[in-house]
Amino acid sequence: MDKYLTFKFKKFDIGHQNSAMKIGTDGILLGAWADLTGCRNVLDLGTGSGLVALMCAQRYNDTYFLGLDIDKSASIQAGINFNNSPFGSQLKSVHSSIQDFKNEEQIPFDAIVSNPPFFKNSLKADDLQRNTARHTDSLSMDDLFQFSSTLLNTNGKLIIIYPFDQLDELNEKALEYNFHVAKQLNIKHNKSKLPKRVLLEYLYQSKTRKQTIDFNIRNAKGEYSEEYISLTKDYHPFL
pLDDT computed for residue 138 by the predictor: 62
**Closest C-alpha to 207, from 182, 171, 185, 184:** 182
Confidence of residue 120 (pLDDT cuts 50, 70, 90): low
Check pLDDT > 80 for residue 126. Answer: no
Check if the beta carbon of residue 136 is closer than 8 Å to that of residue 117.
Answer: yes
Residues 53-62, mean pLDDT to the nearest whole number: 98
pTM (2 d.p.): 0.89
Is the pLDDT confidence value at 3 over 60?
no
Answer yes or no: are the C-beta atoms of 199 and 30 closer than 8 Å: yes
Query: In this predicted model, what pLDDT tens digit does every residue of 162-183 receive, in sequence order?
Result: 999 999 999 999 999 999 999 9
CATH superfamily, with its number, for domain 3-232? Vaccinia Virus protein VP39 (3.40.50.150)
| Cβ burial, residue 180 (10 Å; 0-12/13-18/19+) | middle
Q: Which amino acid is at 100?
A: D
pLDDT of residue 133: 40
Q: What pLDDT band is residue 127 in, cutting at 50, 70 and 90? A: very low
Domain extents for the chain? Answer: 3-232
For 66, 69, 150, 209, the CA distances from 101, given in Å and listed in that order, are: 12, 10, 11, 33
